[in-house]
Each structure stands twice: as C-alpha cells, then as structure tokens.
C-alpha cells in the first residue's frame, strides 16, 4: 500500500484505527531484517531503553520463561517491562510494565511518535509494535526489560537492542521457510541474539553445535543445562517440590511451578547468572505466581477444559505428556475431545500425530495463513472426526457432546485458543 494515499492516523486517533493502519502499511506481514528498524530506533533513541535487558528466543517456551522472569523480578522489587507476542485477544497484552497493561492512549502516543520519526522508512506491524514497547519502557524508566523474540532471533526486530543476557529455551523445527529446515540452521538463527562477552543461557537439553560454534566466535559465556556437554546447571523434581543446581548454588524445596518445569528452571538459571540481586524468597514467590493464559490453562472443571497454544510437534509432545498425567490423576476416565485449528505454515501432520483423542473437532482458521477444517481432517480418523466452518462452532459442539467426566483440549494455534476464550466470555 502507498500510505501517502491513505489518511494517516494521528495522536487523537483510536488504537483500533492505528492497528488497522499498521496492518496495511507494509507490503509484507513478515520481513526479517534490522536495517529499517535500526534507523528508526536510532532516531527515537531507544537502542538501550533500560539499564538491563534480557532477550529470550526459542521454538517453544518463550512466553512462559518470560513470565517466570517477570514474576521473580517483581518479587525482587525491580521495575520490569515485558514485551511479548502474539496477543491472544487484545493488542495491549503485548506490553506490560510492572505486570500492568498500558492504556490505549499510551500505545497511540507511541505510534504517533514512530510515524513522525520513520519518514519514508516502511515498517511492519511487528516492527512498529517493538518500537512502541521500547519507547514505553524508556519513558517509564523500567530497570529491567524482558524481550520475547518474535521469529528466529538474528533478524528479528527485538534484536535491535543489545541485550545484557540472551536466553534460548528450546530448538525444534518450526518456521522452516524463514529459519531453515534443520536444528543446526534454526539454532544458528536463534543464537543471533548473542552479544560478545555477554552470558547466554541455554535451556535446550540437546544443544545444536551451531550454537556452540557461534558462541565461541563471540567469546560468549555459554551456560547450558544438563545433559549438554560442559553443562553449567541442572534441575530435578520430586513428588511435591523440585531442586535447581548450578556450579555455585543449590536451591531446593522449590514449589512446583504452574508452567513447564524446564522453562521455570531456564528462567532461574538466567537470574542466577545475571548481575541482578535476587533472593531465594523472591524466586519462590515468583514461581508460585507465574501463570500465563493459553498455556495448559484450566477454564472449566466438569468437563475439564484445558486451553493450550501448542502448534508444533515439540509443543504437542509436551501437551500429550501433560494429558497423560491428568488422566492418571482422575478417578474416572471420560472421553478425550480435541478442538483444533491450525495455520497452514505449520507441520500439521507431525503435530497431529503427537496427539491422541477419542473425538476430534476441527475448526477452520481464516486469513492468509489459515487452514480449513477439511484439511486437518485428512490427517485424522474419519469415524471420530467432525469439521466445522469455525473454531467457535467446533468448540460449541464438543462442549454439547461432552459428559462431566470428559476432558476437552483446545489447541493448535494462538488464534484457536483466542476464539474459544472469546466464545466462553460471551
């Protein structure tokens, strides 16, 4: 689109007007690369918007790791800013300062400043959003910023900031069109967030050699978890608590987290090896309070309804393992019903292969990347699969057919979970 031909929003426009404008401003929804955003970031003076910055990359587990970092840092009395994506329902979910979403007017004011600063430089929706977050953090004088990488790492907009610590949560095949189709190539892209002589925390238990090689080239202090070779930290779980262990520290009798244990441990490793002051008590408090919508989120009891944004094989395997544990705890075993909608650029066949259900309810997702329900159904048993024109319809049918002892899992995409969330609210 030639934005000169469109009425531009201004400081008095609504947030929804701005978001509509940003969706159509750039000729491609995703365009990796830092040259454009770096120029605008320099004009806005947001290249180092806080004293301490942690950047988190990974195939899965970024959001929950960021959430755990946030809650522990808040318990340690730091002023914390978090930038994450995508949002589930409202755009304002993307930026938090001290665990609070910002008012629409703050986002609008940031967009207006960016629009004035960019001149003829075209920016994607995500680049605009990233710059708005950095502006908000600088203006609010946060002490620690947590940046969740959108896609990859090396060329992601968040990498415009030189972080003090880099984190990689996991490495699996996803976004292969952008990042390459091997774990080595994906690992190298994610390692692009490393900075010379700064520490990097690796939560992936099977670290690709490409990460090691790149870290060595920058003289990065690589701190990986067991069972990686030369690992620096590890964790173990008992029936009602768990233990974190590093080279110089043991934290035992930790409360079991509400998020995946691997991600909780990765967050703790990040803070243990940082220069920030974190007490054992702050760690325990943060663990107890860290939850995130759409991640193994229980929204009903009878039937048991779980929302999870799992959308690739790695995440689906974790979801399947959690489901097995849930069923083991239930005295009565009802049917398992999956409500699913996916994007067409995901590994649909492998993701569905990781999951097992008594009944499937496939909903179509629309838009440029959406997959139809009939496409999903091709990979599932005909006799137990139903297709619907929307995820909302699939969800309503699953709920109507479920008994109180059944388990309904809603998964496959952020879009799928968001649609069911909105339907439940209505």
Angle, helices 261-272 vs 62-75, to 10°: value is 50
Whole-angstrom CA distances from 362 to 336, 341, 410 are 14, 6, 10
Q: Give 84-133 as a DSSP string.
A: ----SS-GGGGEEETTEEPPHHHHHHHHHHHHHHHTT----HHHHHHHHH
How is residue 131 written in tokens?
Answer: 């710059």
Give me the domains of the chain, ranges plus CATH numbers.
3-289 (3.40.1190.10), 297-425 (3.90.190.20)
Average confidence (pLDDT) over 229-235: 95
DSSP letters spanning 360-416: EEEE---STTB--HHHHHTTS-GGGEEEESSHHHHHHHHHHH--TT-EEEEES-HHH
Count CA atoms closer than 13 A to 410's CA, side-chain side.
Answer: 33
The rounded distance, in Å, linking the Cα atoms of 124 and 85 is: 14
Q: Is the pLDDT of residue 3 over 50?
A: no
| Among candidate residues 327, 307, 313, 221, the one with its CA nearest the CA of residue 272 | 221
Contact 139, 113 (CB under 8 A): no
For the cut 70, the answer to whether the pLDDT of residue 174 exceeds it is no
Task: Report strand pairing: 250-254 vs 242-246.
Answer: antiparallel
For the segment 249-301, what is each residue's pLDDT rounded down to a tens digit?
999 999 999 999 999 999 999 999 999 999 999 999 999 999 988 889 999 98
For residue 4, pLDDT beyond 50: no
Give the per-residue pLDDT at 426: 78
């Amino acid at each position: 689109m030639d934005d000169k031909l469109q009425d531009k929003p201004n400081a008095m426009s609504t947030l929804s007007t701005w978001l509509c404008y940003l969706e159509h401003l750039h000729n491609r929804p995703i365009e990796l690369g830092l040259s454009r955003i770096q120029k605008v970031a320099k004009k806005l003076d947001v290249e180092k918007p806080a004293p301490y910055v942690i950047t988190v990359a990974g195939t899965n587990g970024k959001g929950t790791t960021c959430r755990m970092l946030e809650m522990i840092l808040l318990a340690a009395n730091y002023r914390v800013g978090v930038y994450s994506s995508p949002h589930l329902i409202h755009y304002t979910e993307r930026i938090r300062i001290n665990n609070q979403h910002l008012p629409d007017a703050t986002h609008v004011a940031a967009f207006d400043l960016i629009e004035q600063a960019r001149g003829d430089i075209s920016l994607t929706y995500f680049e605009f959003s990233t710059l708005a977050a950095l502006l908000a953090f600088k203006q609010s004088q946060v002490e620690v910023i947590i940046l969740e990488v959108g896609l990859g790492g090396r060329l992601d907009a968040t990498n415009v900031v030189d972080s003090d610590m880099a984190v990689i949560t996991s490495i699996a095949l996803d976004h292969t069109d952008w990042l390459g189709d091997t774990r080595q190539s994906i690992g190298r892209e994610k390692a692009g967030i490393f900075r010379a002589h700064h520490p990097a925390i690796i939560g992936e238990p099977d670290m690709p050699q490409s990460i090691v090689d790149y870290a060595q080239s920058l003289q990065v202090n690589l701190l990986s978890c067991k069972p990686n070779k030369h690992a620096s930290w590890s964790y173990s779980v008992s029936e009602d608590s768990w233990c974190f262990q590093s080279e110089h520290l043991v934290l035992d009798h930790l409360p079991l987290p509400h998020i995946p244990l691997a991600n909780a441990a990765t967050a703790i490793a990040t803070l243990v090896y940082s220069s920030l002051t974190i007490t054992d008590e702050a760690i325990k408090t943060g663990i107890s309070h860290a939850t995130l919508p759409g991640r193994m989120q229980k929204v009903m009891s009878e039937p048991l309804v779980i929302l999870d944004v799992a959308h690739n094989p790695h995440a689906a395997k974790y979801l399947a393992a959690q489901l097995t544990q849930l069923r083991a705890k239930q005295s009565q075993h009802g049917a398992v019903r999956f409500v699913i909608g996916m994007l067409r650029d995901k590994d649909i066949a492998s993701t569905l292969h990781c999951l097992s259900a008594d009944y499937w309810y496939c909903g179509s997702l629309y838009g440029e990347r959406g997959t139809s329900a009939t496409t999903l159904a091709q990979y599932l048993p005909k006799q137990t699969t139903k297709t619907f024109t929307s995820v909302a319809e699939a969800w309503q049918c699953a709920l109507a057919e479920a008994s109180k002892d059944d388990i309904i899992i809603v998964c496959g995409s952020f879009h799928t979970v968001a649609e069911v969330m909105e339907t439940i609210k209505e």
